[in-house]
Structure 1
Amino acid sequence: MVPETTNSLNPLLPDRHPQHDLFICDVADAVLKDVMQHMEHPFYSLSKKPETAIRRYEHKGRWVEITPSVKGLATIYDKDILIYCISQIMAKLKAGERVSQRVRINSRDLLIFTNRGTSGRDYMALVEALDRLEGTRIRTNIITGDEEQIDGFGLIDASSIRRKHGLDGRLLWCEVKLSDWVFNAIRAQEVLTLHRDYFRLRKPIERRVYEIARKHCGQQDSWKISLALLLKKTGSQSPEKRFRQMIRHLAEHDHLPDYSVSFDTAADMVTFRNRGSMAASLPSSAWCGRLDGDVYHDARQAAPGWDVRYIEQEWRRWLGENEIEPKAPERHFVKFCKTWYEKRGPA
């Protein structure tokens, strides 16, 4: 699945279809939080050409290895399929319905959801994307005591395609089986809401930069990062000089969703500022009950170094967004703090 040719007059693709809130599963963090807590590396290619080289990242004796198939590494555009699947699962969880690792995809719905065209070429690109997703494999080691465990897994375990028989061969629907790794990440709430214009970003590197800003800046007023570190986090193979030009372009055109971008050339620092397009207030359906004062002691032990009042605000927002009324609020909040700390580490 690839974007159309860039229109120099408009940095964003046209908005072809109305869309709803989107979700993304940050699967890289879902595994790296256990084996490489202070490193984050992308698992998707930002290149339009097939990447068949093995990627390997190491840190303090622990490593992650990503092996593409002969058809190439899964691209950031292939990731659209996962975003769609995760959105379907999140919608069912919110509705209290049972969910499964197997997700049935109406091909036309997927193309509309991801702001794609619906020509025969777009359907064929969908099939090719499934091949790359299924073929990309991840292997990592986990060290416990004097033993080393090596685990391997994929982005999706299997896919099935149904095509109309005849001359046009129109794609009707697909079924994707998400890997245990991805499905468990969804269950652990490793998801972020995306702006609808994410699918309107023309360049792969812009998508990746938005994801990084969305995760690290979040709903903060601003977040700074050095150009060199931002380049590393993107996984781009572009030289720093070219990457610098891209950041200047982002700052000049100011078209990144949710965040404005400014670039201090003297210090080589990039600053993301929240546009306020994400709801900062608690949802109207947020749980408004009071917590026992003693729970904050347990919360501080569960998330040492963090401001538990801030975590409480995020917990209440999360309850509201998912329309959850906890039966045992104190116990639920402490568990949320523990998960918060496991995902993010020390403050």
Structure 2
Amino acid sequence: MSNQLVQRSPLLPDRHATPDFFVVDVFDAATLKGDMAAMEHPIFSLSTKPDHRVRRYENGDKFIEIKPSADGLATVHDRAVIIYCISHLVSAINEGREVSQTIRFRAHDLLKATNRMTNGQGYDALKAALERLSGTRISTNIVSGGREEFETFGIIERAKVVRETRDGRMQEIEIKLSDWVFSAIEAREVLTLHRDYFRLRKPIERRLYELARKHCGRKNEWRISLQLLKAKTGSGSTLREFKRLVKRVVEDDTRTDHMPDYRVRLDERGGGGSDIVIFENRGCIPAIEDGSFEVPPLRPDTYHEARLAAPGFDIYELERQWRSWLDMSGAEPPRRPDAAFVGFCRKWLANRGANTRG
């Protein structure tokens, strides 16, 4: 039998392709959400073995430090639990319902929604994921939800099995998200993920997709040096090994088109860390022509109006958040950008006030 015939698909099987897969309330038009803060910074480990490295990343005066527990760092696959919780809350917010940091759900629903096995092995893996998510500690001064703060916390504050069957399988789980994650949800710092995200076998593939979804978004393509991409993934490999891993993803994607939303290519003409990795929009997310989505500079008077609309906030940081949201959310460019930005500032202040009262 030829190698071509026995080659394993780079995608996991779609384990739960049944009608009730879409019944779970977490799905808003069959979409899943991921928090943009974690999509930008390498919080989750790519390793499939316990990772006990303490990692610190700096960018100017901002930093993020991730410390593992005895069980190791939370992994990219563990992140599926957070995505599920985020999706549940975003769905509730979109429906006008009140939300809190504590969320309760059926373990079976999570396993099906994230394309995991629902046997005993699947439940054991979920328990291990909850332990790593709770034990991984983050110290950071990164801005999330429009606030700059230094804080140390777990990715989740706690997790509890509310009910358990006689054979030890979890039925209901209660999770309390960290303030940091919940703040990002309330600020709508989320992006839609392709459903095949949970079918990607390799942690590096999931991380590459997350980065492409954030940085390429609706653009035709996004280019990044291999060395910088390595830093953004949080890979502990040497640059040579990381290049080998990326080349394997590129080869698989060229053969099968398995990467969701974006093609992946590698331009090796730079050599070493100067090699360029290119992500191309497949057209699943409508692309924008270069320059067609650019929002023009705001008028000087607009900044004055914005300061009145959101007193005490950094208006230029709010503008950055607003432009980033326009670029990546799929929203149409505003016909009156100055008025749209002031309206954004008013809504931001209202949301912050509601959070304070809560």
Give the TM-score of the pair, scaled to structure 2. Answer: 0.73
The amino acid of 2:68's aligned partner reads P
CA distance in structure 2 between the partners assigned to 1:249 and 1:276 by the alignment: 23
What's the CA shift string for 1:176-227, capped at 9, x where partnerless?
Answer: 0001111001111111100111001100011111111111111000111111
1:21 aligns with 2:20: no
Partner of 2:229: 230
Alpha-carbon displacement from aligned partner over 1:56-95 (angstroms, at most 9, x marks no partner)? 2344465432111111111111111000000000000111
Q: Is the 8 A contact 2:322 2:344 kept in 1?
A: no
The AA in structure 1 aligned to 2:343 is H
2:302 is aligned with 1:298: yes
1:234 Cα offset (Å): 0.6
Contact 2:93 2:99 in 1 (8 A): yes
What aligned pairs does 1:141-160 form with structure 2 within 5 A after superposition? Answer: 150-160=150-160
Question: What residue ranges of structure 1 are gaps of 5+ in the alignment?
Answer: 1-6, 30-39, 143-148, 282-293, 321-327, 339-347
| C-alpha distance after superposition, 1:246-276 (max 9, x if no partner) | 2222222222110011111112111111011
CA distance in 2, matches of 1:22, 1:203: 19
The 2-side partners of 1:66 and 1:112 are apart by 29
- How far apart, CA to CA, are the structure 2 residues paired with 1:176 and 1:84? 11
CA contact (8 A) 1:52 1:69 kept: yes
What displacement does 1:237 show? 1.2
Q: Any conservation in 1 of the 2:322–2:341 contact (CA below 8 Å)? A: no
Question: In 2, distance between residues paired with 1:161 and 1:243?
Answer: 38
Q: Secondary structure at the match of 2:278?
A: strand
AA aligned opposite 2:31: D
Output the CA distance in 2 between the equivalents of 1:312 and 1:251.
29
Residue 272 in 1 paired to residue 271 in 2?
A: no
Secondary structure of the 1:74 match is coil
Structure 1 pair 312/215, CA: closer, same or farther in 2 (3 Å)? closer
Mapping for residues 41-190 of structure 1, pairs under 5 Å: 41-60=41-60, 62-140=62-140, 150-166=150-166, 168-190=167-189
Q: Tell me, what secondary structure is at the counterpart of 1:159? A: strand
**By how many angstroms is 1:298 displaced?**
1.6
User: Would the aligned equivalents of 1:156 and 1:179 in 2 still touch at CA under 8 Å?
Assistant: yes
Alpha carbons 1:67, 1:73 under 8 Å: kept: yes
RMSD: 3.3
Alignment-derived partner of residue 10 in structure 2: 11
* Cα offsets for 1:120-159 (capped at 9, x unmatched): 11001111111111111112358xxxxxx85212211111
2:343 to 320, 327, 332: 332
Query: Which one has a larger percent helix, Structure 1 or Structure 2?
Result: 2
- Corresponding residue pairs, total: 295
- Cα distance in structure 1, aligned partners of 2:322 and 2:279: 25
SS at match of 2:129: helix
Residue 165 of structure 1 deviates from its aligned partner by 4.8
Question: Are the equivalent residues in 1 in contact too, given 2:51–2:68 (CA < 8 A)?
Answer: yes
Q: Tell whether the 8 Å contact from 2:263 to 2:279 is kept in structure 1 after alignment.
A: yes
Q: Which residue in 1 is equivalent to 2:248?
A: 249
Q: Deviations over 1:31-78 (max 9, x none)?
A: xxxxxxxxx531111111111232223444654321111111111111
Which residue identity lines up with residue 262 of structure 2 in the other structure?
A: Y
Q: 1:299 to 1:94 in 2, by over 3 A?
A: farther
The Cα shift of 1:337 comes to 10
Deviations 1:300-347 (A, max 9, x none): 98569x899987965995499xxxxxxx96632455899xxxxxxxxx
Tell me how far apart the structure 1 counterparts of residues 184 and 212 of structure 2 sit (CA, whole Å).
20
CA contact (8 A) 1:67 1:137 kept: yes
State the TM-score, normalizing by the size of structure 1: 0.75
State the secondary structure of the residue aligned to 1:197: helix
Is contact 2:134–2:157 with CA below 8 Å preserved after alignment?
Answer: yes
